Structure 1
Amino acid sequence: MIRKATLQDLDELAPLFNQYLIFYKKPSNYEKHKSYLKERIENNEAIIFLAFDEDNKEKVIGFTLIYITFSSLALNKILILNDLFVDSAIRKKGIGEQLILKTVDLAKELGSDLIRLRTAKNNSTAQGLYHKMGFKRDEYLYSYDLAVK
């Protein structure tokens, strides 16, 4: 089952979000990560979809964290699928695909015709899923970040 996260889901979501950040070599900080998620939900700044275990309907096994923004080139809303993570013990069972399909449904509901994401260059497993789901790697635009101190 996949559904939109609420504040009541934070205790189940936060440990998985912590695992996700550790995967990307960020330090573990459960309370900070839980607070970040709480702020996004409270302020309606993101949409989080949760995937639940079939056998244990209370256990979160995957999530997406989606931000809605706009693109001048698309002249429309775009969804930034910023984070997608499935518990490593549950992978290869279609959970990631289900979470992406839920994101596609959201895009259609909002009238958006573009979902954008970024992933690590060495994350070939995720890249395989994205290609399978129809995502195209951008060969035209480069992505740049500026750390502001």
Structure 2
Amino acid sequence: MSLIDDVMAQITAIEPQPFSLIEGAADLAAIDGNPPASPAAYAFIKEEAAEENTRATGPVLQRCENDIAVVIITSNVTDTTGAAALTDVEALKLAVRSALVGFVPQSGVGEPVEYVGGRVLRFRSGYVWIELVFSVASYIEGNP
């Protein structure tokens, strides 16, 4: 199981389930206009940054920070400006943060997920797109 599989499983386990759709980066990239269902959550690794090798001899060992993006897309047809959807997205953000912060992915190294921040990506036709970013560590080890 990959880190993103772990994250998507954790979002899928939210009760009651607020999302109609939980998918990955390829599905997000395939959106032409609005998502096929709403609210939707898309998870992917946004960025990785490795620290220097911590070993003086032997195989390389590096700690790697993985930034995970969760893009939430929701709509509220009562308002085409997106303001009503922005109000709705607050509950979705809280649900995702509650599910992920402190969660220790099985594919990781035993460190919990931390919240980094979020931002509005866009408003369009009553839809609002929000990106939440979380961080979790992994380790890269070279062959002996």
TM-score when normalising by structure 2: 0.34
- Please identify which structure carries the higher strand content: 2
- Please identify which structure carries the higher helix content: 1
Q: From the CA coordinates, give the structure whose radius of gyration is larger.
A: 2
TM-score when normalising by structure 1: 0.33
Q: Which has the higher contact order (CA 8 A, sep 6+)?
A: 2
